[in-house]
Amino acid sequence: MSDLVLTSTQAITQGSQSFATAAKLMPPGIRDHTVMLYAWCRHADDVIDGQALGSRPEAVDDPQARLDDLRADTLAALQGNGPVSAPFAALRAVARRHDFPQAWPMDLIEGFAMDVEARDYRTLDDVLEYSYHVAGIVGVMMARVMGVRDNHVLDRACDLGLAFQLTNIARDVIDDAAIGRSYLPGDWLDQAGAKVDGPLPSPELYAVILRLLDAAEPYYASARVGLADLPPRCAWSIAAALRIYRAIGLRIRKGGPDAYRQRISTSKATKIGLLGVGGWDVARSRLPGAGVSRQGLWTRPHHV
């Protein structure tokens, strides 16, 4: 195992147990490039949020300077051949091997710029645009690593990232508010008379959270359709990741506002059980008539 793969694997193991569990199902070569891409994404996120491998975000000094450095280092990795740190070397290797348009990694950086600018998200479309930049584009890049070139299939991969991010927003409402961020649609909050404050969601805020989880469901359904176009082991891995992540939303639904008394996650036993269910999802995706239309769903920009 190369040093880059080793350090990237350590990053995924510490930064996302859900992703690490699903990645084990992938064929070795694809798995290596997947964890290398993840390592750069995780590093970039941590730089902006003052995190350490997915720990709770903290307010940071001079976030604009961090963003500027991150943008410059990413461009240096994509455009040059000089020495760069491990996460950027991993990005360089994966981007060149799989012929990424430069716009893809830079779209992720623009998502972090939206955080630095403290963007106001008034509508669900605003939230989906942000979700594309911080998660949907990651799904697109991961799918390219798995050999996908068709834009229609890449749209389905983007849909999974959107669903993941909407689930993330629902889970992290209280933690985000602690550092002055809110990603819930402002018009929904106004309509519900809800505020993001206190250690637990109010009934009004919880209703908005459930509405966001409902909005994620069509994107999960669309993403399942894309499983049929992935190599079998990759499809199984992604199906498992979908099940594991969607289970976070199910815990929020089942637990009510009290679910927020502790970190909302899926247990190791649950993850293992969902690996098997993911295999059935892959089989069903390959049946005739398994398709679901994307009509009405938010669609990513298609870069040349």
Query: Within a domain: residue 258?
Result: yes
Query: Within a domain: residue 68?
Result: yes
Does one domain contain both 89 and 135?
no
pLDDT of amino acid 13: 60
pLDDT of amino acid 106: 98
Could you tell me if 53 and 46 are in contact, meaning their C-beta atoms sit under 8 angstroms apart?
yes
Per residue in 91-136, pLDDT tens? 999 999 999 999 999 999 999 999 999 999 999 999 999 999 999 9
44 pLDDT higher than 50 = yes
Could you tell me if 260 and 200 are in contact, meaning their C-beta atoms sit under 8 angstroms apart?
yes
Give the residue from 278, 282, 268 showing the smallest Cα distance to 240: 278
Between 27 and 133, name the one with better pLDDT. 133
Q: What is the mean pLDDT of the chain?
A: 90
232 pLDDT higher than 90 = yes
Give the sign of the dihedral formed by CA 148, CA 153, CA 155, CA 160: negative
Could you tell me if 123 and 185 are in contact, meaning their C-beta atoms sit under 8 angstroms apart?
yes
pLDDT of amino acid 53: 47
Query: Within a domain: residue 11?
Result: yes
Find the mean pLDDT for residues 82-96. 95
pLDDT of amino acid 9: 66
Find the mean pLDDT for residues 12-39. 79
pLDDT of amino acid 48: 87
Angle, to 10 degrees, between the axis of helix 137-145 and the axis of helix 151-171? Answer: 130
297 pLDDT higher than 90 = yes
As for how many domains the chain has, the answer is 2
Does one domain contain both 148 and 94?
no
11 pLDDT higher than 70 = no
Could you tell me if 98 and 92 are in contact, meaning their C-beta atoms sit under 8 angstroms apart?
no
Between 90 and 51, name the one with better pLDDT. 90
242 pLDDT higher than 70 = yes
Give the sign of the dihedral formed by CA 23, CA 26, CA 28, CA 32: negative
Residue 200, domain CATH: 1.10.600.10
Between 31 and 9, name the one with better pLDDT. 31
pLDDT of amino acid 58: 56
Give the residue from 2, 62, 58, 75 showing the smallest Cα distance to 32: 2
Confidence of residue 185 (pLDDT cuts 50, 70, 90): very high
Does one domain contain both 136 and 58?
no
Does one domain contain both 75 and 133?
no
Any idea of the CA torsion for 89, 91, 92, 94, to the nearest 10 degrees? Answer: 120
14 pLDDT higher than 70 = no
Does one domain contain both 74 and 209?
no
Find the mean pLDDT for residues 217-230. 96
- Residue 185: what residue type? P
Give the residue from 133, 117, 278, 123 showing the smallest Cα distance to 212: 123
68 pLDDT higher than 70 = yes
What range defines the domain where residue 80 resides?
1-98
Does one domain contain both 276 and 134?
yes
pTM for this model (two decimals):
0.92
| Environment class of 115 (CB within 10 Å of its CB; exposed 0-12, middle 13-18, buried 19+) | buried
Query: What percent of the chain clears pLDDT 90, i.e. is strictly above it?
Result: 72
Find the mean pLDDT for residues 65-76. 96
Does one domain contain both 84 and 212?
no
**Can you read off the two tokens belonging to residue 102?**
């430069």
Does one domain contain both 130 and 263?
yes
Angle, to 10 degrees, between the axis of helix 137-145 and the axis of helix 103-116? Answer: 160
- Residue 172: what residue type? D
Between 269 and 71, name the one with better pLDDT. 71
pLDDT of amino acid 1: 44
